A and B are shown apart, each in its own frame.
Chain A
Amino acid sequence: KQEVTQIPAALSVPEGENLVLNCSFTDSAIYNLQWFRQDPGKGLTSLLLIQSSQREQTSGRLNASLDKSSGRSTLYIAASQPGDSATYLCAVPSGGYQKVTFGTGTKLQVIP
């Protein structure tokens, strides 16, 4: 059974800092890994998708890496802004298709 853990559970940083969010998963037989953002009371916004054959993906100030063998992914946010404040979720498909297991989430607060 796939289990996904995210560390830290909450993070508060001053504006402008670079930060790293961590995600670990127990079953390395994955097709891809997605990072999402969720604002309070809102839906999910897909940030990055890394295919299992890739090691990283970049979009603007975001960079996600994937190490399948160790069961880890990191989301790097450069020059954080108050608008980045949200909960960040890591999601991993498993079970031979795309039944997705979500991580516990990291709640980020960027202080102006």
Chain B
Amino acid sequence: NAGVMQNPRHLVRRRGQEARLRCSPMKGHSHVYWYRQLPEEGLKFMVYLQKENIIDESGMPKERFSAEFPKEGPSILRIQQVVRGDSAAYFCASSPMMGEQFFGPGTRLTVL
């Protein structure tokens, strides 16, 4: 049973471009969470999704950021028109209902 997979592991974008981060949860997990870790800061919750539903997006910036978890395929965190302040490590986690969260290796986004 493969763990949570994230790709790409490293992503470089220029200001104004779009960034797409992918997360494949562990097999059998229907809950996905995205977290952001800014340089020298702690991990902050962004969004919680179940299949085809956003349950809680209270931690996600209102503009430029969106997330989805379609019926088929990975969860996608999309950042439009990236700015330097978006440079961070983005972690995805998955869990079965009310279970332990398992984290992916993260995607490190660098905005030039």
- On A, residues with C-beta under 8 Å from B are 31-32, 34, 36, 41-44, 46, 49, 89, 91, 95, 97-105
Interface of B is mostly: strand
Distance between B90 CB and nearest chain A CB, rounded to angstroms: 11
Distance between A48 CB and nearest chain B CB, rounded to angstroms: 10
B42→A89 contact, CB < 8 A: yes
A101→B100 contact, CB < 8 A: no
B74 in the interface (beta carbon within 8 A): no
Chain B residues whose C-beta falls within 8 Å of the C-beta of A97 in the assembled complex: 48, 55-56, 98
Which B23-43 residues have a C-beta within 8 angstroms of A? Answer: 31, 33, 35, 42-43
> Taking A43-B91, A44-B91 as contacts, is the C-beta distance between A34 and B42 under 8 angstroms?
no
A98→B105 contact, CB < 8 A: no
